[in-house]
Structure formats: C-alpha cells, structure tokens
C-alpha cells in the first residue's frame, strides 16, 4: 500500500507545485477557450520576437490526455527531490527544471531553424509546441543515468524501467498521440543527457536567481515589444540607431528615462 497523498505531497513539494500550476493553467485555458496559437511556441512566432512563448508553451496544455500523461510521469519523477544523498534533491530539481524549460525550448527552435533554412522544409514553420513534455523527458533521461534501477509509473498502473523510459515514452507518445512534438521530446532527452553527463553543470542558487531574473526581463520586454501585453509603466522607443532601443519607465511623478545611444564613430585609416 502506498503512502498517504498528503505525505507524498510533503515529500515532493516542487513537483506538487508544478503539477498544481500546470493544472490551474489548463483549467484557465479551457475556461477562456485559448488555443495552441495563443500560447504555443513555433518558429515563426519566435522570429517575430514572441520569446515569452518559451515559458508559456512549457506550462500550457490543451488536451486533457496530454496534461494527465505529463503530470503522471512528473509525479513519478518527483522522487528526484528525495535523492539529495545522490547529489540530486530539491535544489538540484528546481535549478535544472529551470534550465530544461529554457534550454529545451531553444534547442527545438534551433532544430526547426536547421530543417527550415538548410533542408527547406517549411512545414516546421507552422509546427506549434505546447506542454511540459520537454522537461519530463529531460528528467526521465537524467534519472535513467543517475539511478537506472528506478521505474517510471504512468497513470498509476503502467510501470516502465527508467533506463529505457525516455525512448520507450518517445515511441509510445508518437503512436498514441501522433500530433505530439517528436522534436520537442527529443530536445528534452538531449538536454537531459547533457545535464546527467556533466556537460551542463554548475547551477547553484546564485545562478538560478540570476537566470530567473533574466528570464523575467526578457519575458516582459518580449510581451511589450510584440504587442501581446501593454505594460503601461514601460515604453520602448527607437533612437539614432534603430537597432538600439531606449527604455523609459513612466511614474506618476517625474519621468525617469534610461536611454541607450550609440557611441560616435571613430574613423581609422590603414596605411
């Protein structure tokens, strides 16, 4: 007999919060009738400057089956929070969940870019990815390297050896859900191996907070610049060099202006 649910939630606080957040977002999406095009990540939207979609696409689910599969797998993977004695644990889980969200999103965009620009497959311009699958596949991969004896439980009755779970799940989801993003899942696996093998390492609280700060900054500016959300306290204006923006923060009192302008050009002659 398993442990009581409240006790498991206590043992997996970060996992429980992420599942709660993704479920709440799914409920909001259903209530407001929001579609893939509103929150998903695609090559064309990224080119247009919608960088905020790297975050919203990871936390959003349109299909309830997609949500249940991802959250069921994530709940099983929450064991990582309890493996502090193996160099994993809660902090490791939080730090690298952040890395997986951003890095897997950037990697899948890079794959789309190669397929579109190099191989002229324009189909991938319109492919829109949503869901926490990239992160789930990343953690499957990390756990398969760090603790290959573990098992991945899905839907409460399906159990897979974790050592094969990333590729088994990759094939399983491609068959059961044909519209699932194969490249998105593959990017999570690649990022997972990069972390597990130490190619990406060194995350600590300082770097995690710094990374989170930059993410929030890019999120706000891309929302503003793309016209998706109008932050009344923020204006972006062009200056002498159109490629350099000036940023003005508007307050109820005196205006505060932070302007970035180009340095005067210095002419150099070569003899």
- Per-residue model confidence as pLDDT tens digits over 129-183: 999 999 999 999 999 999 998 888 876 667 778 888 898 888 888 887 777 889 9
Query: Between vectors from CA 33 to CA 28 and to CA 35, what angle results, nearest 5°?
Result: 100
Question: How far is CA 215 from each of CA 79, 98, 131, 154, 212, rounded to the nearest angstrom?
Answer: 27, 10, 18, 31, 5
C-alpha closest to that of 208 among 109, 97, 126, 113: 97
φ, ψ (nearest 5 deg) of residue 36: -55, -40
Q: Is the pLDDT of residue 267 over 50?
A: no
pLDDT of residue 265: 45
* Residue-wise pLDDT tens digits, 184-218: 999 999 999 999 999 999 999 999 999 999 999 99
78: nearest Cα among 164, 157, 24, 20: 20
Q: Of 61, 66, 95, 185, which one is the catalytic site residue?
A: 185
Only one residue has tokens 């573990």, namely 150
- In the prediction, which pLDDT does 246 show? 53
pLDDT in tens, 64-120: 988 998 999 999 999 999 999 999 999 999 999 999 999 999 999 999 999 999 999
Confidence (pLDDT) at 204: 95
**255 contacts 248 by C-beta, under 8 angstroms:** yes
185 is catalytic: yes
pTM of the model: 0.84
Among residues 57, 72, 104, 133, the one annotated as catalytic is: 133
Annotation says 133 is catalytic: yes
């Amino acid at each position: 007999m398993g442990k009581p649910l409240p006790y498991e939630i206590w043992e997996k606080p970060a996992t429980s919060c992420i599942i709660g957040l993704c479920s709440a977002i799914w409920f909001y999406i259903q209530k407001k009738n929001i579609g893939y095009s509103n929150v998903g990540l695609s090559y064309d939207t990224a080119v247009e400057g919608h960088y905020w979609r790297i975050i919203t696409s990871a936390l959003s689910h349109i299909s309830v089956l997609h949500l249940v599969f991802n959250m069921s797998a994530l709940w099983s993977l929450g064991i990582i929070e309890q493996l502090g004695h193996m160099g994993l644990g809660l902090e490791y889980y939080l730090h690298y969940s952040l890395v997986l969200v951003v890095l897997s999103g950037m990697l899948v965009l890079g794959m789309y870019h190669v397929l579109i620009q190099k191989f002229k497959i324009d189909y991938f311009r319109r492919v829109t990815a949503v869901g926490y699958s990239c992160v789930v596949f990343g953690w499957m991969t990390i756990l398969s390297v760090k603790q290959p004896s573990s098992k991945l439980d899905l839907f409460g009755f399906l159990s897979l050896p974790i050592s094969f779970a990333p590729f088994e799940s990759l094939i399983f989801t491609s068959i059961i859900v044909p519209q699932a993003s194969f490249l998105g899942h593959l990017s999570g696996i690649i990022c997972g191996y990069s972390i597990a093998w130490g190619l990406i390492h060194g995350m600590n609280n300082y770097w995690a907070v710094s990374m989170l700060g930059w993410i929030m900054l890019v999120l706000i500016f891309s929302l503003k610049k793309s016209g998706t959300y109008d932050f009344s306290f923020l204006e972006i204006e062009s200056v002498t060099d159109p490629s350099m923006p000036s940023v003005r923060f508007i307050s109820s009192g005196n205006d505060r202006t932070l302007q970035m302008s180009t340095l005067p050009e210095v002419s150099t002659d070569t003899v």
